[in-house]
Amino acid sequence: MSPPVVARRVVVTGHVQGVFFRECARGEADRRGVAGWVRNCADGTVQAHFEGPPEAVAELLRWCRCGPRHATVDDVHVSDIEPEGLEGFRIR
């Protein structure tokens, strides 16, 4: 039997671009075995798709609330979504 997999769509607001948020998110996701992607959006937010074991995804969401050292996170909006069966984690 396969372990459970959850997926979350995430939008992070604040000073989150130009502070290595995406690269750090990729490292954090890889460390936890979370698949998905992260990208900068034109409105200044960072959007991400995380999927993997529930606790690993929860840990990555907790990390997003602080982000990397030079980020200032104002808010993290999280939506439950259906897993897509993604493998690996990419910066878009």
CA dihedral 16, 29, 26, 80 (to 10 degrees): -50
Residue 91 within a domain = no
Q: Which of 9, 39, 40, 62 is catalytic?
A: 40
pLDDT, tens digit (0-9, with 9 covering 90-100), for 4-28: 999 999 999 999 999 999 999 999 9
Handedness of CA 30, 36, 39, 44 (dihedral sign): negative
Residue 77 within a domain = yes
Q: Which of 8, 9, 22, 32 is catalytic?
A: 22
- What's CA 76's distance to the chain center, in Å? 10
CATH number at residue 57: 3.30.70.100
- What's CA 69's distance to the chain center, in Å? 16
Residue 1 within a domain = no
In this predicted structure, what is the pLDDT of residue 2? Answer: 72
In this predicted structure, what is the pLDDT of residue 67? Answer: 97
26 counts as catalytic: no
| pTM score | 0.94
Could you tell me the two tokens for 26? 């990729």
Q: Tally the domains of the chain.
A: 1
pLDDT, tens digit (0-9, with 9 covering 90-100), for 42-80: 999 999 999 999 999 999 999 999 999 999 999 999 999
| Cβ atoms 83, 32 nearer than 8 A | no
40 counts as catalytic: yes
